[in-house]
Chains A and B, each alone.
Chain A
Amino acid sequence: MKSVTTRSSIVQKQWSNLKRNRLAVFGLFIIVVLGLATIFADLLTSYSPNGVDLSNRVQPPSTEHFLGTDKLGRDVFSRVLYGGRLSITIGLCGALGAAFLGVIFGSIGGYFGGWVDRILLRLSEVVMSFPALVLIMIFIAIFGQDVFNLIIVFAVTGWIGEYRLVRGRFLSLKNEYFVESCRAYGMSNLRIIFGQILPNAITPVIVSVTLATALYVIAEAGLGYLGLGVPPTTPTWGNILNSAQSIDVVREYWWLWLFPGSVISLFVLGVNTFGDGLRDLIDPNQ
């Protein structure tokens, strides 16, 4: 197990490489700051995200309410923090779920080939031929609006990217010498797939999960805006923006949409720049 030491030194080297990519560091900084802020929301604000205060409706930003209050007198700052917690979780879990499916399908299809591979390939083509948003909307119409459902929907509709990545890697790796020798030793297929080949194919998946998280945070926001996301009584970034559908909110109460919208954009920007940096690092040729 000497590979452990080399691996950690590779990580160190890559970290120092990453540090040189200022954009990626900038992205990571945003992710960490916003992430911590949502995790420790309880410490940053004393307001409950659902604390209705009817005598303080639609107050513009002030020292008391840092980002103002919404139509029910709830503190927008607190809602953005707590909403972010859920939105980021949904985005991340959706991306991880999609990656999980993609990796499983990709490795099985790529390793075994034959009819299994053909079926999976057809399936991926079918899923790809639907615009993701339409597919998500249909899924939600069927299974209902729920945080868990949304994550499942993201996973079920989003696995194509990882599937193709992993399948491609498996196709080229399965005939390599080290795989042949594993087979010769009588290692089971399962162990070869997950113990031997997968570790060599997983790095691009990490980048893909990062970028997918950004995509799903945006998707959640979009669905919330359309009123099709998680139940509207739960604060998420999308649901906070739902009120911006009416034009009078857009014109009269700018703090209700500008702040949440900017925070979403900033977070996604951070994730994207970090993901780009990570990709440059892993695959400098691209």
Chain B
Amino acid sequence: MLSYFIKRLLAVIPILVLTSIIVFAGLQLAPGDPLTHLIDPMEMTADFDREALEEEYGLNDPIYVQYFSWAGSLIQGELGYSLVNGAKISDVIFRRLPATFELAGAALFISSILGILLGLISSIKPNSSIDYFGQGFGVLGVSIPDFFLGICAIQIFAVTLGWFPVGGRLEYGTEGFLDRADHLIMPALILGFSLTAAVMRFTRGSMLDILNKDYIKTARSKGIPERVVYAKHALRNALMPVVLILMFRLPFLVGGTIVIERVFNWPGMGSMIIEAVTGNDYPVIMVTTLLVSYVILLASLLVDLITALLDPRVRFE
């Protein structure tokens, strides 16, 4: 087991390095210039001291020097500074991360509960009207763009009915989680919706698969009540792949978070990435993308390990 673990870990390292090089190289290619973000190009005079600034920002070093100095400080936990507003990137991330975790976590929670529940119900009676309802829900979930759903929700629940605020996360004088729960509900539900559909489809498939297995048939023939068959025998075995699919949805969750944070003006990592991309803020784009991809890589490593733990056959492949 340990040797498998080490082997897997070693295989990840080149990917980590390769990823960082790709991110770095990509952003070197970007024809971006953070300076004109600070000053309108129409108001620059000819004597504007642009070269001195570029020199100091290290934009003139050879590329590999820039990469190594960047990667070196990255390893030391020094993530650098934003070119646009001079903020320490690590500070920004720490400040933004809770908001994103809150939103993504709530969405993940909602979608797992709802998705598994719907998947279970549809699997009990395949091809019944409940099943079709669930399946329809599933198709809708992957078909309606989440930002469009978000706009509809704002129009209906925030503007017309006034049940929820239009956007934002925290307002002055409100500190506690309960105070801002009303801000969270809509974006979390919308973000969770497409995820719910995926989880539901997978749970249903996985359940149907297991229910056809011989041991379930044996259990049924022994006269064990349906309820127990579902709860004890089928569900437990069907849930494992479902947990894994949640992990695999992580990249989609990140993508969805970016859009939803924009729709609902949620001050998280997603809006930070958009701001960085539109403002040509290389260091911020580089670091956040890299971190996100690392998180996803580690998650998939975790998935592999859990699978290996549960299914010894994997290890000896």
Instruction: List chain A residues, Cβ under 8 A from B31.
Output: 142, 144
Do A251 and B155 touch (CB < 8 A)? yes
Q: For the complex, is A264 an interface residue (Cβ under 8 Å from B)?
A: yes
Q: Find the B residue at minimum CB distance from A136.
A: B255
Q: For the complex, is B139 an interface residue (Cβ under 8 Å from A)?
A: yes
Do A261 and B152 touch (CB < 8 A)? yes
Q: For the complex, is A212 an interface residue (Cβ under 8 Å from B)?
A: no
Q: For the complex, is B32 an interface residue (Cβ under 8 Å from A)?
A: yes
Task: Scan residues 123-163 of chain B and give those whose CB is less than 8 A from a CB of chain A.
Answer: 139-140, 142-148, 151-152, 154-155, 159
Instruction: List chain B residues, Cβ under 8 A from A128.
Output: 251, 296, 300
Do A130 and B292 touch (CB < 8 A)? yes
Task: Choose from B18, B155, B273, B280 the contact partner of A134 (Cβ within 8 Å).
Answer: B273
Q: What is the CB-to-nearest-CB distance from A84 to chain B, in angstroms, rounded to a whole number?
A: 14
Q: What is the CB-to-nearest-CB distance from B123 to chain A, in angstroms, rounded to a whole number?
A: 15
Instruction: List chain B residues, Cβ under 8 A from A228.
Output: 277-278
Q: For the complex, is A137 an interface residue (Cβ under 8 Å from B)?
A: yes
Size of the chain A interface, CB-CB below 8 angstroms:
43
Q: What is the CB-to-nearest-CB distance from A272 to chain B, in angstroms, rounded to a whole number?
A: 5
Q: For the complex, is B71 an interface residue (Cβ under 8 Å from A)?
A: no
Q: For the complex, is A120 an interface residue (Cβ under 8 Å from B)?
A: no
Given the interface pairs A265-B144, A272-B143, the reply to whether A226 lies near B154 with Cβ below 8 Å is: no
Do A130 and B289 touch (CB < 8 A)? yes
Segment at the A interface, from B21-29, B49-57, B239-247: B21-29
Q: For the complex, is B14 an interface residue (Cβ under 8 Å from A)?
A: yes
Task: Scan residues 189-241 of chain A and give those whose CB is less than 8 A from a CB of chain B.
Answer: 214, 218, 221-222, 225-228, 241
Q: For the complex, is B262 an interface residue (Cβ under 8 Å from A)?
A: yes
Instruction: List chain A residues, Cβ under 8 A from B300.
Output: 128-129
Q: Which of A138, A221, A258, A264 has the most CB of B within 10 A?
A: A138
Given the interface pairs A137-B273, A228-B277, A250-B154, the reply to whether A142 lies near B143 with Cβ below 8 Å is: no
Per-residue interface assignment for chain A, residues 120 to 134, with 1 indicating a CB less than 8 Å from any chain B CB and 0 otherwise = 001001101111111
Given the interface pairs A133-B254, A254-B155, the reply to whether A138 lies near B285 with Cβ below 8 Å is: yes
Task: Scan residues 278-317 of chain B and give those whose CB is less than 8 A from a CB of chain A.
Answer: 278, 280, 285, 289, 292-294, 296-297, 300
Q: For the complex, is A244 an interface residue (Cβ under 8 Å from B)?
A: yes
Q: For the complex, is B15 an interface residue (Cβ under 8 Å from A)?
A: yes
Task: Scan residues 163-194 of chain B and give those whose CB is less than 8 A from a CB of chain A.
Answer: 166
Do A134 and B22 touch (CB < 8 A)? no
Q: For the complex, is A247 an interface residue (Cβ under 8 Å from B)?
A: yes
Q: What's the Cα separation between A286 and B205 when bound, in Å?
A: 8
Q: What is the CB-to-nearest-CB distance from B130 to chain A, in angstroms, rounded to a whole number?
A: 16
Q: What's the Cα separation between A145 and B216 when bound, in Å?
A: 55
Q: For the complex, is B258 an interface residue (Cβ under 8 Å from A)?
A: yes
Q: What is the CB-to-nearest-CB distance from A107 to chain B, in angstroms, rounded to a whole number?
A: 22
Q: For the complex, is B215 an interface residue (Cβ under 8 Å from A)?
A: no
Do B252 and A131 touch (CB < 8 A)? yes
Q: What's the Cα separation between A150 and B162 when bound, in Å?
A: 38
Per-residue interface assignment for chain B, residues 46 to 72, with 1 indicating a CB less than 8 Å from any chain A CB and 0 otherwise = 000000000000000000000000000
Q: What's the Cα separation between A159 and B296 when bound, in Å?
A: 18
Task: Choose from A138, A245, A247, A261 the contact partner of B145 (Cβ within 8 Å).
Answer: A261
Q: What's the Cα separation between A258 and B277 when bound, in Å?
A: 28
Do B251 and A131 touch (CB < 8 A)? yes
Instruction: List chain B residues, Cβ under 8 A from A132.
Output: 251-252, 255
Do A131 and B15 touch (CB < 8 A)? no
Do A141 and B255 touch (CB < 8 A)? no
Given the interface pairs A130-B251, A273-B139, the reply to whether A265 lies near B148 with Cβ below 8 Å is: yes
Instruction: List chain A residues, Cβ under 8 A from B2.
Output: none
Q: What's the Cα separation between A244 and B155 when bound, in Å?
A: 11
Do A122 and B292 touch (CB < 8 A)? no
Q: What's the Cα separation between A244 and B150 when bound, in Å?
A: 11
Q: For the complex, is A268 an interface residue (Cβ under 8 Å from B)?
A: yes
Given the interface pairs A126-B18, A130-B289, the reply to whether A141 lies near B280 with Cβ below 8 Å is: yes
Q: For the complex, is A276 an interface residue (Cβ under 8 Å from B)?
A: yes
Q: Which of A137, A221, A228, A276 has the most CB of B within 10 A?
A: A137
Do A222 and B139 touch (CB < 8 A)? no
For the complex of A and B, list the 10 residue pairs with the smallest distance between their C-beta atoms, beginning with the closest: A133-B255, A261-B148, A131-B254, A269-B143, A131-B251, A268-B143, A265-B144, A129-B293, A129-B297, A142-B30
Query: Which residues of B approach A to under 8 Å, CB–CB?
Result: 14-15, 18-19, 22-23, 26-27, 29-32, 139-140, 142-148, 151-152, 154-155, 159, 166, 205, 251-252, 254-255, 258-259, 262, 273-274, 277-278, 280, 285, 289, 292-294, 296-297, 300
Query: Which residues of A approach B to under 8 Å, CB–CB?
Result: 122, 125-126, 128-134, 137-142, 144, 214, 218, 221-222, 225-228, 241, 244-245, 247, 250-251, 254, 257-258, 261, 264-265, 268-269, 272-273, 276, 286
